[in-house]
Amino acid sequence: MEQPGTGTETSFGISRQSHVGIMDHLFGNGQVGPFYLGIWGLTALLCFSATVFIILISYITSAQVHYNFILFLREFPNLSVDPPAATFGLRWPGWFNGGNWLAATFFLHLSVLAWWARVYSRANATGLDRNLARAFSAALVLYFTIYLARPMLLGAWSEAPGHGLKAMLDWTNNVSVRYGNFYYNPFHMISIFGLLGSTMLLGMHGATIVATARYGAELELKEIEIEGPGTHRAQLFWRWTMGFNANAASIHVWAFWFAILCVVAGAIGLLLSGTVIKDWYSWAQSVHIVAPPDPNYDWSQFIQR
Per-residue model confidence as pLDDT tens digits over 258-290: 999 999 999 999 999 999 999 999 999 899 888
93 and 194 housed in the same domain: no
**Helix (H/G/I), strand (E/B), else coil: 240:** helix
DSSP state of 8: E
The domain boundary residue, chosen from 115, 136, 157: 136
* Structure confidence at residue 305 (pLDDT): 66
Q: Per mean pLDDT, which range of 22-26, 95-99, 230-234, 283-287 is the poorest?
A: 22-26
Tell me: do 132 and 185 sit in the same domain: no
CATH number reported for the structural domain that contains residue 101 in this entry:
1.20.85.10
Decide which of 101, 136, 171 is a domain's last residue.
136
Same domain for 71 and 130? yes
Q: Quick check: is 93 in a domain?
A: yes
Q: Verify that 122 and 185 share a domain, yes or no.
A: no
Query: What's the rounded Cα separation, in Å, for the pair 171 and 216?
Result: 47
Lowest mean pLDDT among 27-31, 282-286, 295-299: 27-31
Whether residue 253 lies inside any domain: the answer is yes
Note the pLDDT tens digit of each residue in 206-241: 888 888 888 887 777 676 677 778 888 888 888 888
Quick one: 26 and 130 in the same domain?
A: yes
pLDDT digits (tens, 9 = 90+) for 36-59: 888 899 999 999 999 999 999 999
Q: Give the residue ranges of DSSP H helices in the chain.
A: 22-27, 38-61, 69-75, 99-125, 131-144, 150-154, 165-178, 186-211, 220-225, 229-242, 250-272, 280-286
Same domain, 24 and 94: yes
* Whether 271 and 202 share a structural domain: yes
Report which DSSP code applies to 246.
Answer: -
DSSP string, 95-161: GGGTHHHHHHHHHHHHHHHHHHHHHHHHHHHTT--SHHHHHHHHHHHHHHIIIIIHHHHHT-GGGSP
Q: What is the pTM of this model?
A: 0.82
Structure letter (DSSP) for residue 26: H
Whole-number pLDDT of residue 164: 94
- Which of 136, 163, 191 is the endpoint of a domain? 136
* Type of residue found at 91: R
Domain count, the chain: 2
As a whole number of angstroms, the distance between CA 258 and CA 191 comes to 9
Please indicate, yes or no, whether residues 267 and 186 belong to a single structural domain of this protein: yes
Q: What is the pLDDT of residue 104?
A: 97
205: amino acid identity, one letter? H
Asked whether residue 170 is domain-assigned, the answer is no
How many Cβ atoms from other residues are within 10 Å of residue 93's Cβ? 20
Structural domain boundaries enclosing 63: 19-136
Residue 158 lies in a domain: no
Does a structural domain hold residue 76? Answer: yes
100 CB-contact burial (10 Å; exposed 0-12 / middle 13-18 / buried 19+): buried
Tell whether 163 is covered by a domain. Answer: no
